[in-house]
Chain A
Amino acid sequence: MTQASYKYIGNVLDRNTRGWLPVVDEHSNKFYLPLLTKVEKLENANLFVMEGIHKGKTIAVDHKRIKPNIYSSYLFNSFTYAEGANLKLILKTSILQFPTQEEKVMCEGILPGVYKILLPDRPHEKKMQEDYYDESNSSGSRFCTTWFPIDTPQHNQYLHMGEYSTGCVTVLDNWQRIYLSLIHSRELESVIGTLTVVEE
């Protein structure tokens, strides 16, 4: 019996890939995996997705959709995740508290409770304005298309950056730092951490 060879999606921090690795599955379906997704390397150079919404799929890196190539490989051989992120949202003040910082957010439609923050599902490009990508100011980020799903009963609620909220928790500033701290955290497979929502 051979030991499983786990790898991690890496080297997609540049402004071209923006935290997403283009992949293709055995049925030629094209999609993306977020940075640091755990995968298992199969014998034929294919990968088996271990977490996220594409868990259980056999995929290959779609090199044609990565231009320019800056790395010879887009996999880390090993990676040590940080502990699961614990976030607290105070609805009355619209403050989202992180262990070391707090951010002003917009939040409408989210109810008090304890929710899981999940691994990002797909790049959310449609609602992105050009200035969201502009890193010359602290509110812009190359990772603005990464939205973290919040596992609420309503579904379709995310933690993301932006300027308006339609039922999500919308961060107004410092998304780059928030993204980097969340993406390398794991509470469990597919789970980034916990969001506790309180009235005040």
Chain B
Amino acid sequence: MWELNWPDEYFKVEDKESIFISQTFHSLLPNIIDVVNNFWTSLFTVLAIFIYRKMDRRLNIEIKIDNVIKNSNLGLSHELLQLIEEKSKDQNANEILVKAICIAENIERPAWFRKFEYFSSLIAKHGSYGIMQTQTDKPIDDKASINIAIEKYFKNTKYASKEEIEIAIRKYNNSDHYFRFIQEIITFILPQELHGYNYLRES
């Protein structure tokens, strides 16, 4: 067997060095407990930032609704606006209410997100689709979602009282935040003084 025939002193020195290097190296490396702790800390930090940003966005929506509506690319084409107006007239629906819902849904679920939902329908068909985020058993486009939403939720709301409007909104999405959001958008479109009136409208 092949043996090293080197002086002992050399090996002793080498041992000391390797122990030193090894200890230094180990002290630099975290142990497994540290790794796990840091992982959870990072996860909570990321989660906290995500929640903060989400809340911050909602706060902005509440406070700077004008900017949110103005700056957002509403995606409400002339064709869709015309459809809402005609369908609302046909179903005796409150056009401003329908538009407010449409704007809100479009801000919360922009076009790119709706496309994602449309593709995810390959896995599970039931879901909310189109610009009005209508619940259906199969994917539908923006136009179909407007037609279904008006027929199902907003028919005969044209001359509805404030209370009836609230019921219609809550039937669509029963959350206080959503209700306030819709009210804000309605007030953006029409002054508070004209809510519930067919005033200054085409005669």
Known: A68-B76, A184-B200. A13 touches B191 (CB 8 A): yes
Q: Give residues of chain A (2-16) contacting chain B, Cβ–Cβ below 8 Å.
A: 10, 13-16
Task: Give 27 pairs: A residue, B residue, CB < 8 Å, sorted on A.
Answer: A10-B202, A13-B189, A13-B191, A14-B188, A14-B190, A16-B66, A16-B188, A35-B200, A67-B70, A68-B70, A68-B72, A68-B74, A68-B76, A69-B74, A69-B78, A70-B76, A70-B99, A71-B81, A71-B85, A72-B78, A72-B81, A76-B202, A77-B202, A79-B203, A135-B187, A180-B191, A183-B200
* Chain A residues within 8 Å of B74, by CB: 68-69
A interface, over-half SS:
loop
Q: Say whether A65 faces chain B, with CB atoms less than 8 Å apart.
A: no
Question: Quick check: B70 and A16 within 8 Å, CB to CB?
Answer: yes
How many of B's residues come within 8 Å of A, CB to CB? 24
Q: List CB contacts (< 8 Å) of B10-47 with chain A.
A: none
A85 to B144, CA, bound (A): 46
CB distance from A15 to the nearest CB of B (A): 5
Q: In the bound complex, do residue A135 and residue B200 qualify as a contact, i.e. CB atoms below 8 Å apart?
A: no
A79-B202 CB under 8 A given contacts A14-B190, A68-B76, A70-B99 = yes
- A72-B191 in contact (CB<8A): no
Among B99, B190, B193, max chain A CB count under 10 A is at B193
Chain A residues closer than 8 Å to B203, beta-carbon distance: 76, 78-80
In A170-188, the 8 Å CB interface with B consists of: 176-177, 180, 183-184
Residue among A16, A71, A177 with the highest chain B CB neighbour number at 10 A: A71
Residue A142 at the chain B interface, CB threshold 8 Å: yes
B167 within 8 A of A: no
Ranked 3 nearest A-B pairs via Cβ: A76-B202, A72-B81, A72-B82
Q: 10 new A-B pairs (CB below 8 Å) besides A16-B69, A70-B99?
A: A10-B201, A13-B190, A15-B66, A16-B66, A36-B200, A76-B202, A77-B202, A78-B202, A78-B203, A180-B191
In the complex, A15 Cα to B103 Cα: how many Å?
A: 15
CB neighbours (8 Å) of B190 from chain A are 13-14
A1 to nearest B CB, angstroms? Answer: 26
Q: How far is the CB of A145 from chain B (nearest CB, A)?
A: 14
Known A-B contacts A13-B194, A15-B66, A16-B70; the reply to A70 vs B189 at CB < 8 A is yes
Q: How far is the CB of A90 from chain B (nearest CB, A)?
A: 26
Neighbouring A residues of B201 by C-beta, 8 Å: 10, 76
Within 8 A of A (CB), among B66-102: 66, 69-70, 72, 74, 76, 78, 81-82, 85, 99
- B189–A180 contact, CB under 8 A? no
Minimum CB–CB distance for B105 against chain A, Å: 15
Nearest to B192 among chain A residues (CB) is A135
Closest to B69 in A: A68
- Interchain CB contact under 8 A, A180 and B70: no
Q: Give the Cβ gap from A117 to chain B, nearest Cβ, in Å.
A: 18
Contacts of B194 in A (CB 8 A): 13, 180
Chain A window 13-52, contacts with chain B (Cβ cutoff 8 Å), 1 for yes, 0 for no: 1111000000000000000000110000000000000000
**Distance (whole angstroms) from the CB of A9 to the closest CB of chain B:** 11
> In the complex, what distance in Å separates the CA atom of A192 from the CA atom of B201?
18
Whether B189 lies near A14 (C-beta < 8 A) is: yes
A51-93 near B? 1/0 per residue, CB < 8 Å: 0000000000000000111111000111110000000000000
